[in-house]
């Protein structure tokens, strides 16, 4: 697993959009990405922003009913270039193979949550992720 830290300016939506576009350019054949945010509102706002700018994404958080959450996770799993926006409701127990990138758009309050978030990538023998 490779980690990289970057300062994210106040214009978070534009910064994340550019970062995700760069990741997609870097690995066009597969770039499944999870973006973690601290709040449901931040998750919704970013999803709306990215969608307005032509980026398909799935969002999961506490306001999404369990059945819908499962459908969105399945859509993300099936898309080799999937983009999932999530609050920490998804950090524990989420195991999605072939996730290439995890972006912490908002840092969690506890170190344990950070460990669970970054554990969403590089799972399994020979797996890699950033």
Domains in the chain with CATH codes: 12-21+29-118 (3.40.50.300)
To the question of pTM greater than 0.95 for the whole model, the response is no
The tens digit of pLDDT for each residue in 19-73 reads: 999 888 888 888 899 999 989 999 999 999 999 999 999 999 989 998 999 999 9
Instruction: Note every long-range contact of 12-19, with CB atoms under 8 Å and residues 24 or more positions apart, other chains counting.
Output: 12/46, 12/105, 13/45, 13/46, 13/49, 13/50, 16/46, 16/50, 16/103, 16/105, 17/49, 17/50, 17/53, 17/55, 19/103
Strands (E), 3-127: 33-36, 58-60, 83-86, 101-104
Query: What is the rounded CA–CA span in Å between residue 25 and residue 29?
Result: 9
């Amino acid at each position: 697993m490779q980690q990289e830290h970057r300062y994210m300016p106040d214009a978070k939506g534009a910064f994340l959009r550019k970062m995700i576009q760069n990741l997609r350019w870097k690995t066009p054949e597969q770039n499944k990405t999870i973006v973690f945010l601290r709040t449901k509102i931040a998750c919704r706002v970013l999803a709306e922003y990215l969608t307005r700018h032509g980026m398909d994404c799935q969002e999961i958080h506490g306001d999404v009913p369990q059945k819908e959450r499962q459908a969105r996770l399945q859509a993300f799993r099936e898309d080799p270039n999937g983009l999932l926006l999530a609050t920490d409701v998804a950090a524990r127990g989420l195991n999605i193979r072939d996730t290439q990138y995890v972006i912490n758009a908002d840092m969690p309050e506890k170190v344990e949550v950070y460990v669970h978030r970054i554990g969403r990538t590089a799972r399994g023998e020979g797996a890699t992720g950033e």
